[in-house]
Amino acid sequence: MNKSALSAAAFLLAATGAHATPPAGQDALAGAQVKVDVGGRKLNMYCTGKGSPTVLFEADGGRAGWDWSAVLPEVARRTRACVYDRAGMGASDPAIRASTVANASKDLNFLVKNARMDAPFVLVGAGYGAMVAQHYALRSRGAVTGLVLVEAMHEDALPADRAARLDAALACLAAAEEGKTIAACAYPATAINGEIGPRLAAAQAAQVARPSYWRARASELDSLETSAGQMRAARKPCGDMPLAEVAHGEPAAIVAAVMEVLDKQK
């Protein structure tokens, strides 16, 4: 790891108080696991647990699958649970096209198909990831049998500060291209993730040092209006599909919502 990444890691450890014991199995999310081809590119995926349906987690905008490290092992006690990284995030290959909801949904379709994952699926999406999860579910032809939406972003209520977020991401991209470490560009903490261990802190620091990460993050923000239009075009009633909404991203509440949806599976 270069000096910039090491400095960022030290900052992140200090900022998150990452000296407590992290959730069990968190280290597995700090690096590449199974790389699945999605058409000339590969996305990183990690699964644990056994059973059906498979619970598949979709992270918030600009974030990687490791955000679910406090939720994943609890769900895996009940059934198979999988996280993955969208293009440009975590250990996945860089994005090569606009990071829209529709493109993320297409990538997820390839991931499921090429990883030979068997339906049915329960999708859990946070923030922007809730839109990706819904878009995929609406086009999955019955493969998705349950949804859990955590602090969901809605196509008709996009974040008011999205322009400022984009400007900040572009500033961090410029810093990363120059090899600079800026405190404001550290990977942000989330209540979903619990404590951050040293390995994940280092992985997050390495993440924000890569220009490819900031390009993907900026693209998601820059494409929000397009993504909103894609969601409006795809939106339709979900019928009797079990759906749970979590207003505040906290591990216990998310796990409870997932269990509620699993209990309603036929």
Domain layout of the chain by residue ranges: 26-264
Task: Give the pair of three-digit tokens for residue 43.
Answer: 């996305």
Which tens digit of pLDDT belongs to each residue from 234-251? 999 888 899 999 999 999
For the segment 210-220, the average pLDDT, to the nearest whole number, is 98
pTM: 0.91
Mean pLDDT of 29-34: 95
- Residue-wise pLDDT tens digits, 69-88: 999 999 999 999 999 999 99
**What is the predicted pLDDT for the residue at 23?**
83
Q: What share of the chain is helix, strand, coil (3-state, %, to 5)?
A: 45, 15, 40
At 20 the pLDDT is 62
Residue spans of beta strands (DSSP E) within 100-251: 121-126, 144-150, 243-246
CB 12 within 8 A of CB 196: yes
pLDDT digits (tens, 9 = 90+) for 145-199: 999 999 999 999 999 999 999 999 999 999 999 999 899 999 999 999 888 999 9
Question: Pick the residue with more confidence: 5 or 94?
Answer: 94
Q: Is the pLDDT of residue 31 over 80?
A: yes
Q: How far apart are CA 143 and CA 32, in angstroms?
A: 26
CATH topology for the 26-264 domain: Rossmann fold (3.40.50)
Per-residue pLDDT, 24: 81
Q: Is the dihedral of CA 230, 87, 179, 3 positive or negative?
A: positive
